[in-house]
Structure formats: C-alpha cells, structure tokens
Structure 1
Amino acid sequence: METKYLILGAGAASSWAVRGIRQEDKEGDITIVGKEPYRTYSLPLLSKGFIQGRYPEDKIFTVKEDFYDTNKATFIHSNGASSLNTSKKTVELENGDEITYEKLLICTGGSPLKFQIPGSDLRRIYYLRTLDDAKRIKAAAQSAQEAVVVGGSFIGIELSAALRELGLSVKLLMMEKYPWQNLVPEEIGKYFTKLMKEHGVSIYVEEKVIEFAGENGLANSITTESGEVFEGDLFGVGVGISLNIDFLKDSGIEIGKGVVVNEYLETNVADIYAAGDIAEFNDLILGTSHLTGHIENAQFQGRTAGRNMAGAHEAFSQVTAYDTEIFGTMLMFIGASQYGNEHIIRGNTEEPLGSFSFKDGKLVGALLIKPGGKEIRAVRELIELADSSLLYYKDVFSDPNGDLMGLLKELKDPAY
C-alpha cells in the first residue's frame, strides 16, 4: 500500500493532523493507523464522566463517524507499527502489511506503566488509558465495594474521585507527600488533599507498593514497604506511562526522553514528524526541550505537524493548558509550572486560588483554581510575553483580586 501522508496513532494529535494537512493539501492521500478499534475519543473524559455514567460512550468521541470519509482518509484500526525503514520510507504493521509513505507523522502516545511485583498478574487490578480499560473499570465498579487506587498524579487522583462518586469506599496510596508533587507547590497539593478527604477518600502518602495478594486468582490486598496492608475488591493503578516508540529502534530517528523534534516538529530524519505525548520538542517560549502529555498540546502539535507535512513552515509556539476536576473543583494547569524556581501563591495558603511559577523573572506556568475565562487568557498571554520583569509585580499575582488582564494591558501598552 502507498500513501502520501501516513499517520501512526489515532488519538488527538492524529485527528488534528488530518485537519492540518487538509488546510494545505485538499487531495493528497492520508492513511491513519490506530491500535484501537475506535475513532478519536477524549481520554480525559474517561475519568471525568464516562466511568461515573455522566457521559455515554457516543458522547466521548471527538470526531464524527464520517470524519475519515469526509477528509478522504483511510483509517486502519486495530493495528500498529512493528518497524520503520526510513531509507525505503516504509512501515511494517503488526499484521505483516507494509505501507510506503512520502511524509510520516508519529503520534503513537503511551501505555500505562504496569507493576512487575509479586501478585501483579492477579485479576481485579486495573490500569486506565483506553476506552476498553474504562469499560472494564466501570463494569467492575458495579459490584465492588472497596477500591484501593495507587498513584499520586492525574489518573490516580481522578480515578479515586470517580470511584468515590460511584459510592465505593476509596483508599488512595501514593509515594509522594501530596498530589501532583512534581507539578504543583505544596500549598496546592495540600488543598486538594483536604478536598478529597472531605469527600471521603482516605489518602496514604509516602507509601510504596511491594506486593499484591489474593485468592483464586483475584487480588484482595496490597502490601506496602511500610508493612501496611490495604484490602479491597477493586485495585486501580496510575503510576505513569511508557511511550509507544519501541518500533523505532534501529530506525535512525533520534530518541531522547521521547522522539526528538525541532521547532517544526520534524525529526532528524527528513519527512518524518512527531507530535503529542511522544514528542520531545523545542519549547520556544520556555527555552527548553521537554515532553508534554496532555490533550491540548497534542491537538495543537498535531495541527502544526500536519500543516508542515503538507508544505507549511510553521514553528510550534503555543502556551497550552489542561485541567482536572476533583469533586466539582477545577484546577487549570497553564504553561509548565514544573520548570519554575520561584512560586507565588494567589490568595492565602490555606484556601489558595492558585499559584504562579517564575524562572529568571519570567512567568513560565500557573495553576488556577476555579478560574474564569479572562483570567486564563491573561495568564497565557503573560507567559507568551517572556518578560523578565514580571516577578516585580508580585503583589498583583499574590492578591486574590489582582487584575491580571490589567497587568497584561499595561505591559503591552505602557500608556494604558
């Protein structure tokens, strides 16, 4: 099989890449290869409503059933890449088929990291990454009573909240001292710890899981390094992902923490691009190369990569944002707070409204609790300014009523 544009992966970056290609090239053949049997759907909605029953399956898809036909694209589902030959410009699929391409986009995402400890092969242990994973958890929750969830980042926290909403008793175990420890200041983490406890989630910090135990092939307890034993009849695990890039071994594509790309999202091999979770990209705003694993980043990178595959020459420069919602309280992540070396809490430390992170005086990221639309827009643009004087305006950032939009206008137009 031959195609002009080959896209490996069928997630958010993939569908937005199709749109990007079609902005520049209305007719070139597009082929998409996806591991799952589904068209693009929203990963965040799995834990933000699907498991709880708030969203039926047909409401989580982000493209219509006729999306591929409308865009003159061929969708090969339930398949994946097994190897890439960059000199021949061919990809071999897991079923043995071979596709020859002119331009290639790799956006294969990640898979859950799985425990390799005693008992980790028992049933009733669930990982959440795909729609089928969510279906299994949703079904198991109908008869379960006591859930034990492992992981102090997004999946662990959101899954704990989802299962609690379904009426299960929930214990959340994490190695960290508070939720999202690698991403948020302690004040924000402790605020959400308190919120989750108020809604009935029992939280155990600095606990390392060393063993699952069970009977008749079914897990019924977890043991941690401290000697604590936590019993349950449903076990959820969210301890990170591994990138789906093993098939690139020996391909000649540069691999660092992920697939290394330049500001145009092109790899070191001509005509091959990467986007989404796997792309280690040159962040023109922050001045550093890094991975960013969330849906908005995948969407915008996919669109840019698609346009560039089809002849554009557009650098990716975007302050992206994503959110989580825990028991009705939204936390918005804007930019990359984890790269800041100085943090300012907005409001008081007991009931913070967010935080702002600075590096070399420049605003690089923010966390906003229950934000408004204007506030989000102002923060995005303040980060884009890359102004090293922003730290001088500490009072505006720390004041819960500080006028961020006014500050933005003042910096853009001193006569304002």
Structure 2
Amino acid sequence: MKLKFKVQPFQTAAVESVADCFAGQVNTSGIAYRIDPGSTRSQRRDAASGQTLYGTDTEETGFRNADLQLSEAHLLENIRGVQHRQNLPLSDRLVPSAGCGVNLDVEMETGTGKTYCYIKTVFELNKRYGWAKFIVVVPSIAIREGVLKSLEITAEHFTEHYGKKARFFAYNSKQLHHLESFSSDGGINVMVINIQAFNATGADNRRIYDELDDFQTRRPIDVISGNRPILILDEPQKMEGERTLEALAKFRPLFILRYSATHRTSHNRVHRLDALDAYNQKLVKKIAVRGITVKGLAGTTAYLYLESVEISAKAPVARMELEVRRSGGIRRIVKRLEKGRDLFVESNGLDQYRGFIIAQIDAVSDTVEFTNGEVLHAGDAVGDITETTVRRIQIREAIRAHLEKERMLFSRGVKTLSL
C-alpha cells in the first residue's frame, strides 16, 4: 500500500517560517572545494621499466553549503518579521548556542507532523537558497530509525513537488564511505545521527574524532564539518548537556534548526503551533488536562492522594492512595474505599491517619469529606509529597487516562495522544 501525503497549510506555514528568515540570501547551488584525500597514495606499474610508480590520488571535488551572506542585522530583521506576523515575542538579538550564532526554534505540538515539516524544510531551503547538506540529530536510535522511515516514505511525495530526491543515510562509524558521497554529491544529502554516535565514551562512538586507517588517516568529523552542514535537532531539550553542546559545535554548522513541542531553552523562536493552536485549527478533536494539586492539611503529615471517585451500583467509591503498614515496611497502596471506612484501620494502625474516617463521597463534585472536617478533591495530593512522588503519580495517571480514552475513541477512528 502506497501512502498519500496531503499538503497541509499549517505545515506549509511552519516551513515558510524558517525559509523566510533567510530572505535575501543568494541562491548558490553549492561551493566547490577540495575534499581532504587523506594520506593514501595510488600506485601503478610502468609498462616500459616494470617499476612501481607512486603518486597522490586524483583530487576529488566536494560541494559544501554556501556561507550565510546576510548580515546579522539583516537576518535579525527577517526573524522579527516572521515573529511579528505570528504574534510571537520579538527577538532583540541572535541567540548563540553550540558554537553557532543562528539558532531557530520551531515549536510544534506532538502529532502535527514535525518530522514531515523539517524534511520539507530541507527541500524548500534547497529550492530557495541552494543549501544541500543537512544533518538531522536525534536523541535515540529508535527516533533515528523513525526519521529514516519518514525520509523513505515521503521520497516520492517530495519528488513530485520539488522535482528532485534527497540522498539520506544513517551515520555509521564502520561505513564511512557514505561520508565521501555526502561531501562529493552536489544534490540534497541528509545524514541522520543519534547523539550517542558522537557523545558517548565507547571506542566505536569515539571513532568520529579519531584518525582512522580505513579512512585514509582522516577524522570523520573533519570531513563532515568541511561541508558546513545545517543541523536539524529533533527534541533539542534532550541535547542540552555541556558535553553534547561542545560536540555539536565540532560539526561547524551553518545554522541550527530546533524542532520540539517542549523547548527547555529559548533561542530565536520563529514558529509556534502549541496544543491550543492545534485545537483551534481543528487539528485535534479535543484537549483534556488532568492535573495534580499538592495541598497541606492542618496538623498532619498523613499522605493521601485521591485518584478518583467512581460510581458503583450502590454508592460512590473513592480510589485513594495511602500508606499501609506491611510486614516488610510501609508501602503506598491504592484502595477502593466506601463511606464510613476508617483510614487508621485501613493503614493497619498508622497514627497519622487517626480521625480520617470517610464521612461523605460526592460523585458530582468528585470530593471526599472526612469526619475531622478535611475535604479532598479528585487529583489532590497531601502530606509527605516529594517531586518523585508527584512524577510517579503523573506517570501513572497519564497511562491510566490514556488507556481509558483509547478504549472510548478507538472504534471511532480517533487517535489518542498523551503528553
């Protein structure tokens, strides 16, 4: 079955937001340069003398990205123009990072086609300005394989729209011949690399910085950086460690594009499609937010988390997490409790629960009232609450809520996403 891709206006807007930042750049199909041939020498036998003659290999021509011709002021003016038309905060300067002076943030909600957008941006930048060397940096091998699959299944689609194909491959330190083609080919070339391939300490991962005998005593990073590639960071918030930023700088990027739904560090944001925007544009059917409220109860350190109030055949039941004394120590357990249950008894005699007897469970307001006057709403967590506790509750609730929604919506053909 062949997939059909539709040109979506909201995705085109994301592509244009990036491309318009470089308005005024002259279209150059690539700057020719001499690829470092390494230290190998060719040899041939002279027919007349029978002697072996040595000489250097024929120089191979490469094509690197043309330099940015725009001044910093011109580039900033373009960026501010893009920001103004989208009602984004206007940048007062270019924000450098990873050894690069130009870093553009693209914020796109999960499920809106982020990968498709940056692949299309590759073609658009090539069409407008002639840039052809791109590196997609991803945080994991799984995402790397997903990006490669996206490049594969969209190849025909983009060929129809741009009249050319992109050559793409995953960086592999044991298949360095791809780097030769990456440098020498004048067409669109996309290398996909996961951060472990250049940021880990293993011998295989360090090969990118080593002079290799099987690579004519050259360093792969030098051959890559000679192309002045454009870096596309997928989930850049996972690449903000000091060592990772130092490693990214060694690629000598022309500029960096950063795509994420949840940017941790802000640079120059040129596009935003958040959850509310996606809902308003009818890209998602509905947004539901489930929160956790941390509150204190007077004079007690009792831990309680009211997960939900369930309607049963008889009376409402509260799903509540509390601490319970067990033979192996104290554990936090979720229990289904009815009106009249005593938490001191349910906890096997923990003193902090004295006086916590359920007086009322209200399914309309999703509340539980105790005989001591304390009231909990669904989602309230009280007592000894640490950040780890909150995160554990969030993860558990996200999984439970996702499965509930999936069960309700799957038969209707509606996809459920949880963040």
- TM-score normalized by the length of structure 1: 0.22
Structure with greater helix percent: 2
Structure with bigger gyration radius: 2
- TM-score normalized by the length of structure 2: 0.22
Structure with greater strand percent: 1
